[in-house]
Amino acid sequence: MDDLKSKYLGAIAEAGDQDALETLRLAAVGKKGEVSLKMRELGKMTPEERQVAGPALNALKDEINAALSAKKAALDDAALDERLRSEWLDVTLPGRARPRGTLHPVSQVSEEVSTIFADMGFAVAEGPRIESDWYNFDALNMPGHHPARAEMDTFYMKQPEGSEDRPPVLRTHTSPVQIRSMQAHGAPLRVICPGGVYRSDYDQTHTPMFHQVEGLAIDKDISMANLKWVLEEFVSAFFEVDHVELRFRASHFPFTEPSAEVDIRCSWEGGQLKVGEGDDWLEILGSGMVHPKVLQAGGIDPDQWQGFAFGVGIDRIAMLKYGIPDLRAFFESDLRWLRHYGFVPLDVPTLAGGLSR
At its nearest, how many Å lie between ligand DAH and the CB of residue 104? 21
Of 226, 214, 139, nearest to 183 (Cα)? 139
Residue 82, sorted as left (phi over 0), alpha (psi -120 to 50) or beta, turns out to be alpha
Q: Which of 194, 195, 254, 311 binds ligand DAH (CB under 6 A)?
A: 311
For every residue of 309-326, DSSP letters joined together read: EEEEEHHHHHHHHHT---
Residues with Cβ within 8 Å of 267's Cβ and at least 6 positions away in sequence, in order, are 273, 274, 277, 278, 279, 280
Binding segment toward ligand DAH, per CB under 6 A, in 130-138, 141-149, 230-238, 282-290: 282-290
Under the binding rule (CB under 6 A), the answer on residue 318 touching ligand DAH is no
Q: What is the DSSP letter of 160?
A: P
Non-local (6+) Cβ contacts of 151 within 8 A are none
Residue whose CB is less far from ligand DAH, 207 or 256:
256
DSSP 8-class letter at 199: -
User: What 3-state class would DSSP assign to 355?
Assistant: coil
Rule CB under 6 A: say whether 131 interacts with ligand DAH.
no
Taking contact as CB under 6 A, which single stretch among the options 47-55, 305-313, 338-346, 349-357 is the one that binds ligand DAH? 305-313
Helices (H), the chain: 2-14, 18-29, 34-40, 47-86, 105-119, 133-136, 147-151, 176-185, 224-239, 292-297, 314-322, 335-341
Q: Counting contacts by CB under 6 A, is residue 154 touching ligand DAH?
A: no
CB 330 to ligand DAH: min, Å: 18
**Residues in a beta bridge with 265:** 281
User: Looking at this protein, which amino acid is placed at residue 44?
Assistant: K
Query: Closest distance between ligand DAH and the C-beta of residue 214, in Å?
Result: 5
CA dist., res. 192 & res. 172, Å (int): 17
Stretch that binds ligand DAH, among 19-27, 55-63, 114-122, 286-294 (CB under 6 A): 286-294
111 vs 214, beta carbon nearer ligand DAH: 214
Binding ligand DAH (rule: CB under 6 A), the pick from 113, 189, 275, 309 is 309
| Nearest residue (CB) to ligand DAH, 154 versus 287 | 287
Q: Which of residues 220-259 bind ligand DAH (CB under 6 A)?
A: 253, 256
Question: Of residues 157-196, which lie at the interface with ligand DAH (CB under 6 A)?
Answer: 173, 175
* CB-based closest residue to ligand DAH: 311
Q: Cβ closer to ligand DAH: 168 or 311? A: 311
Instruction: Tell me which residues touch ligand DAH (CB under 6 A).
Output: 173, 175, 214, 253, 256, 286-288, 309-311
